[in-house]
Structure 1
Amino acid sequence: MANGKQIQLKGRVFITFNIEAVTGLHIGGTESGIEIGGVDKTVIRDPLTNRPYIPGSSLKGKVRSLLEKYKGLPQNQRIGQGYIHSCDQKDEYSNCDVCQVFGVPGERDFATPTRLVVRDVKMTEASAKALEESGRTDLPYTEVKAEVSIDRVTSKANPRQMERVPAGTVFGPAELVYSLYDGDGCRVHKDIERLRTLVEGLQLLEDDYLGGLGSRGSGKICLKDIKVMLRVGETYAEAPLELGAFGSLQDLVKGLGTLQSQIRQRLG
């Protein structure tokens, strides 16, 4: 963000929820140190508890990618082996909901603060305990799914093993922190409107998959036990205001307009 801009934080919206794996979930970890005959693709784990978790970067990146495709945005910036959309002109950026919510590189002189923060999501204690006591997992907290790929030229079978978190496992609470700004390049009423973009992204995620191997059945999730809270700038140190609780994402979609009206009212 360029120096000299005057931008004020007007409030923050906190969205928390649990993520249930409807099918086995694979979010890849490091492949270093895999022994011969071991699992080909491992999941990422918390080094302190050895439990699988969902990195905030994976969750945020997937939602952004789905929104870019949904809105037909050009993939114009190379990241690693692929491309993402990233506005490189001020006028374009001003009208791009995705870049406003998810951010652009800070060295661009027209950039404003990224609105969305996504935390890492831990496995719930209840799910961890259930998996520990089940005695039916191949590895701690995970299953091993055997697959066979076929070379279409030679017809040779290539067996491989994929590590997944079993279906039914719950991660949470996930936390999304959405900031509302006003000032140079920012309009708080636009940020409130863009909450719809974030909710659309979550809906796209439920209809798609999280992590890897999604085209082969892994990664279907559902969001539940959703809560929405608000901290207002003038009274930020006080306890957050509870705006609503929703059993499912569809319930949140139905109540979004009312939530936005509540936020506008609280911010004056």
Structure 2
Amino acid sequence: MANNQRIQLKGRVFITFNIKAVTGLHIGGTESGIEIGGVDKTVIRDPLTNRPYIPGSSLKGKMRSLLEKYKGLRQNQRIGQGYIHSCDNPEEYPNCEVCQVFGVPGERDFATPTRLVVRDVMMTDKSAQDLEVSGRTDLPYTEVKTEVSIDRVTSAANPRQMERVPAGTEFGPAELVYSLYDGDGCDVQKDIEHLRTLVEGLQLLEDDYLGGLGSRGSGKVKLENITVALRVGETYAEEKKLLDKFENLGCLVEKLKELQDQIRQHVGK
């Protein structure tokens, strides 16, 4: 953020929901320490409970990647083995909804604060207990899916074992915290309007997949039991104001404009 910018937090929108794995879910963990004969690709687990979880970085990164492609943004910044979009000039940044919501590197001297925070999402206690008593998982809380690749030249089979969280497992509550700012380089009315971009990211996620192995059937998810709440700057220490509850994402989409109008009334200018 540039020096001498005057920016005021006007409020925060809190979106919570459960994530249900419609098909087996694989979000990769570390491969170190895998014994001979073990699975080839393991899932990430909470070191305290040993339960699989969804990192906030995976959820946020997937939404951003899908939105970049949906809006046709140029892939100009190298990250690891690939590229992402990141505004690199002050003329482009103010009109880029994705960078406004999801952020740009801190060294950009024209940057304003990132609007979106995405928390890690833990497996629900009910799902964990159901998996514990079922006795039908290959490993604690997970199944092992065997895939076979065929060498096109020799026709030799190459079996691989992938660890997945079984279909039907729920994680939650997931929490997205969306900040509304006003001041130098910020416009609270634009931030409220950009909530639509965040909801579009959730829609794209449901239609795509989360984690790895998605093109081979894994990672289809559904968002359920959604709540939207608000804290306003002037009364931030008070309890969150519940704006609405939704059974699924489709219901939220239908009421999105009404939600934005409610937020405008509470936040003002």
Q: TM-score range by the shorter chain?
A: over 0.9
Structure 1 SS opposite 2:92: helix
Supply the distance in 2 between the matched residues of 1:32 and 1:150 (Cα, whole angstroms): 26
Structure 2 SS opposite 1:242: strand
Partner of 1:153: 153
Aligned AA for 1:150?
I
Partner of 1:230: 230
Deviation of 1:153 (Å): 2.3
Supply the distance in 1 between the matched residues of 2:153 and 2:248 (Cα, whole angstroms): 46
Task: Summarize the alignment of residues 102-141 of structure 1 with structure 2, pairs less than 5 Å apart.
Answer: 102-141=102-141
Supply the distance in 2 between the matched residues of 1:135 and 1:206 (Cα, whole angstroms): 29
Query: Deviations for 1:161-190, whole angstroms, at most 9, x for unmatched residues?
Result: 000000000000000000000001000000
Give the % identical residues. Answer: 83
Deviation of 1:154 (Å): 2.2
**Unaligned 5+ runs, structure 1:** none
Partner of 1:101: 101
Query: Deviations for 1:214-238, whole angstroms, at most 9, x for unmatched residues?
Result: 0000000000000000000000000
Partner of 1:200: 200
Deviation of 1:35 (Å): 1.1
Structure 2 SS opposite 1:91: coil
Query: How many residues end up aligned between the 2 structures?
Result: 268
Aligned AA for 1:151?
D
Partner of 1:210: 210
Supply the distance in 2 between the matched residues of 1:152 and 1:5 (Cα, whole angstroms): 59
Supply the distance in 2 between the matched residues of 1:154 and 1:194 (Cα, whole angstroms): 53
Supply the distance in 1 between the matched residues of 2:234 and 2:92 (Cα, whole angstroms): 32
Supply the distance in 2 between the matched residues of 1:83 and 1:239 (Cα, whole angstroms): 41
Supply the distance in 2 between the matched residues of 1:41 and 1:117 (Cα, whole angstroms): 28
Query: Deviations for 1:69-107, whole angstroms, at most 9, x for unmatched residues?
Result: 000000000001110000001110000000000000011
1:55 aligns with 2:80: no
Contact 1:2 1:107 in 2 (8 A): no
1:188 aligns with 2:183: no
Question: CA-atom RMSD, angstroms?
Answer: 0.5
Contact 1:31 1:42 in 2 (8 A): yes
Aligned AA for 1:242?
L
Aligned AA for 1:141?
Y
**Unaligned 5+ runs, structure 2:** none
Supply the distance in 1 between the matched residues of 2:153 and 2:257 (Cα, whole angstroms): 55
Structure 2 SS opposite 1:167: coil
Task: Summarize the alignment of residues 255-266 of structure 1 with structure 2, pairs less than 5 Å apart.
Answer: 255-266=255-266
Aligned AA for 1:23?
T
Supply the distance in 1 between the matched residues of 2:68 and 2:267 (Cα, whole angstroms): 30
Supply the distance in 2 between the matched residues of 1:7 and 1:89 (Cα, whole angstroms): 20
Structure 2 SS opposite 1:90: coil
Task: Summarize the alignment of residues 26-105 of structure 1 with structure 2, pairs less than 5 Å apart.
Answer: 26-105=26-105
Aligned AA for 1:251?
C
Partner of 1:245: 245
Supply the distance in 2 between the matched residues of 1:45 and 1:212 (Cα, whole angstroms): 15
Q: Which runs of 4+ in 1 moved over 3 A?
A: none
Supply the distance in 2 between the matched residues of 1:178 and 1:84 (Cα, whole angstroms): 22
Supply the distance in 1 between the matched residues of 2:134 and 2:167 (Cα, whole angstroms): 13
Structure 2 SS opposite 1:186: coil
Supply the distance in 2 between the matched residues of 1:81 and 1:184 (Cα, whole angstroms): 35
Aligned AA for 2:113?
P
